[in-house]
Amino acid sequence: MMHEAIDKPAILLIGSGGHSHACIDAIEQDGRFRIFGLVCSDGEDHADRLGYAVVGSDAHLPALALKCRNAIIAVGQIRSPEPRMRLFMQAQNLGLGLPAIVSGRAYVSPHARLGPGTLVMHGAIINAGAIVGSNCIVNSNALIEHDAQVGDHCHIATGAILNGGVQVGTGSFIGSGSVVREGVRIGSCCLVGMGQSVRHPMTDHEHQWAKDRRL
Ligand SMILES: CC(C)(COP(=O)(O)OP(=O)(O)OC[C@H]1O[C@@H](n2cnc3c(N)ncnc32)[C@H](O)[C@@H]1OP(=O)(O)O)[C@@H](O)C(=O)NCCC(=O)NCCS
């Protein structure tokens, strides 16, 4: 575990699966917070994660929120945004601060905007005029080009490219290495599999994950 100044505000990671490891690293590289601990799902094991303690399960959240005033949702998202949305709203209702976390190895233009609780991982670029909503994951090496707009609760996966002016609706997933043509609008709760080339608009709840296969 890194040695962290005790005067930094503490942050709780809600979620303790694989994605929590990436969150830990991003928070360490962001440098503004000290990790209070992680929260697992009810019934999961309480083993440490990368040297940080699992301090409780979902059922303990109200009590933990009295001890630690900031949180980030550390659950991953592919098929459904629902678990991350539910936890984010629960954290909001408990009055927790939900800061955006930006790895020191990412670039976020001063002319871009990020919503609360959004995590920007190593190597990601968010360019001028882009807007990313709340509780999103902008994963390692993703590129969100100028003036693109990403709604709340989206996951832009590793190495995905949203070209200039692309719009992505609430709760959508853009898979690893996918490329979206400039100006294309993707609706809410869409799923774009890894390695896809998206050239045409997608309506709400549409899936694209095999060549010419739109479900
Ligand atoms: C779209 C996805 C969710 C489908 O998963 P699944 O339901 O388990 O589907 P399967 O892997 O069983 O694949 C079913 C079929 O679709 C094809 N397929 C699946 N995903 C595909 C993709 N992204 N592109 C092209 N073809 C794909 C498979 O080859 C398979 O076809 P087959 O019958 O010829 O073997 C998954 O493949 C995917 O893309 N996940 C996202 C991965 C990712 O970006 N992770 C990011 C982590 S940061």
Per residue in 129-161, pLDDT (tens digit) is 999 999 999 999 999 999 999 999 999 999 999
Task: State the distance from the centre of ligand 1 to the C-alpha of 166, rounded, in angstroms.
Answer: 23
Give pairs for 181-190: CB < 8 Å, separation 24+: 182/145, 188/151, 189/81
Residue ranges of domains in the chain, CATH in brackets: 10-93 (3.40.50.20), 101-204 (2.160.10.10)
Q: Ligand 1: which of 158, 174, 194 to mutate, judged by most atoms within 8 Å of the beta carbon?
A: 194
| Ligand 1 pocket: which of 21, 209, 212 to mutate (most atoms within 8 A of CB) | 209
Q: Sheet holding 167-168: strands in order across?
A: 113-114, 131-132, 149-150, 167-168, 185-186
Portion of the chain with pLDDT greater than 70, in percent: 95
Ligand 1 midpoint to CA 207 (Å): 11
The model's pLDDT over 39-49, given as tens digits with 9 standing for 90+, comes to 999 988 888 99
Answer whether 140 contacts ligand 1 (Cβ < 6 A). Answer: no
User: What ligand 1 atom has the least distance to the C-alpha of 155?
Assistant: 48
Q: What percent of the chain is predicted at pLDDT more than 90?
A: 91
DSSP per-residue letters across 89-106: HHHHHTT-B---EE-TTS
159: Cβ below 6 Å to ligand 1? Answer: no
DSSP string, 33-83: -EEEEEEEPTTS----BTTB-EEEEGGGHHHHHHH--BEEE----SS-SHH
Question: Which residue is it, tokens 């509780």?
Answer: 135
Pairwise CA distance, residues 76 & 9, whole Å: 24
Cβ–Cβ < 8 Å for 157, 142: yes
**Residue 29's pLDDT is what?**
92
Instruction: Check: CB of residue 190 under 8 Å from CB of residue 205.
Output: yes
pLDDT over 60 at 121, yes or no: yes
**Which residue has its alpha carbon closest to ligand 1 atom 25?**
210
Residue range 60-74: average pLDDT? 97
What pLDDT does 213 receive?
56
Q: 184 and 200 in contact (C-beta within 8 Å)?
A: yes
Q: pLDDT value at position 44?
A: 87
107 lines ligand 1 (CB under 6 A): no
pLDDT exceeds 70 at position 211: no
Q: Does residue 146 have an active-site annotation?
A: yes
Q: Average pLDDT of the chain? A: 95
pLDDT at 77 over 60: yes
Ligand 1 pocket check for 123: Cβ under 6 Å:
no
- At 44-63, the pLDDT tens digits run 888 899 999 999 999 999 99
